[in-house]
A and B are shown apart, each in its own frame.
Chain A
């Protein structure tokens, strides 16, 4: 988990995602690189999660290969719209906010606090 996290955080920072300015430059259509980063990571992950369960019975440390199950409903889409608005205002998303702390981008702590409040209000009043 920890080692995987190191790669994840290093990759985010290497790809500039810990800088909200770069994320916003994608959303303002000035630099489309974020799509390459998202596509590259999804492609590598797609190869792993579709191939590995055919080659191995179970994960190296035990347990089982989990399937990620989501059903499309109104909440998926409304949630994605609200996330999109927040993303466009701030240039923040959950993973890149964590990576921002590692590059010393401390104002992002305000954003992470906001994310906890938003997640709490969702779980407290909308479930």
Chain B
């Protein structure tokens, strides 16, 4: 059930929670991830959907936040990561197709593992609870199906 133990997961989760909490206490914003795609597209697109007020108002801080996430992971890699840098062995076509569906689905659903999963569940939102249950169950079924076709990891 837990071949790598509990420790990294619980500490990692608490650190993520501290990051989201810090931003909420300082600014009142919910630091979530997938809106970043829409707000960043708003720099380039003239479509009314991407130019809605909440996207224009938050596109600056979402970019800063994303930069922080990347650098935070880099700091971990340079300090605590025993194995150093890491490269996935998941094939490029799985990253491309999966990434496309993740981008489309999270924006249709208006939330991802962080939006629905962390901020949504923390807000005690039933909408987010339904979304989380849905993507976890579908994610598990998909991953098991792919695995059964002999595609690994």
Residues of A at the B interface (CB closer than 8 Å) are 1-22, 24-25, 27-34, 36-50, 52, 56, 58-61, 63-68, 70-72, 75-108, 110-124, 126-127
Determine whether the beta carbon of B103 is less than 8 Å from that of A115: yes
Q: Give the Cβ gap from A44 to chain B, nearest Cβ, in Å.
A: 3
Find out whether the CB atom of B109 lies under 8 angstroms from the CB atom of A75. Answer: yes
CB-based contact A86/B28 at 8 Å:
no
9 inter-chain pairs at a CB distance below 8 angstroms, sorted by A residue, are A6-B72, A6-B75, A70-B127, A76-B110, A77-B131, A83-B139, A95-B69, A103-B85, A107-B95
| Complex interface: chain B residues within 8 A of A105 (CB) | 85-88
Interchain CB contact under 8 A, A113 and B99: yes
B56 contacts chain A at the CB level, 8 A cutoff: no
The answer to whether B70 touches A49 (Cβ under 8 A) is: no
A8-B16, A86-B99 given; 18 more Cβ-contact pairs under 8 Å: A5-B67, A6-B72, A25-B153, A42-B117, A44-B17, A44-B21, A58-B28, A67-B123, A72-B127, A88-B138, A97-B102, A101-B73, A102-B70, A102-B74, A103-B74, A103-B86, A118-B100, A124-B49
B105 and A7 contact, CB distance less than 8 A: no
Q: A interface, by DSSP: helix, strand, loop or mixed?
A: helix
A107 & B22 in contact (Cβ 8 Å cutoff): no
Majority DSSP secondary structure for residues of B touching A: helix
| A84 CB contact (under 8 Å) in B2, B30, B85, B138 | B138
The answer to whether A33 and B4 have CB atoms under 8 Å apart is yes
Least CB separation from A31: chain B residue: B3
Q: Is the Cβ of A88 less than 8 Å from the Cβ of B21?
A: no
With A94-B37, A114-B97 known as contacts, the answer to whether A85 contacts B19 (CB < 8 A) is no
Query: B123, A1: Cβ atoms under 8 Å?
Result: no
Known: A15-B11, A93-B102. Contact between A7 and B76, CB under 8 A? no
Knowing A5-B31, A80-B134 are in contact, say whether A119-B2 is a contact too (CB < 8 A): no
Q: Which of these, B5, B41, B73, B86, contacts A120 with CB under 8 Å?
A: B41
* A40 engages B47 (CB within 8 Å): no
- Produce 1/0 per residue, B107-118, CB < 8 A to A: 111111111111
CB neighbours (8 Å) of B106 from chain A are: 79, 83, 93-94, 115, 119
Complex contact A45–B122 (CB within 8 A):
yes
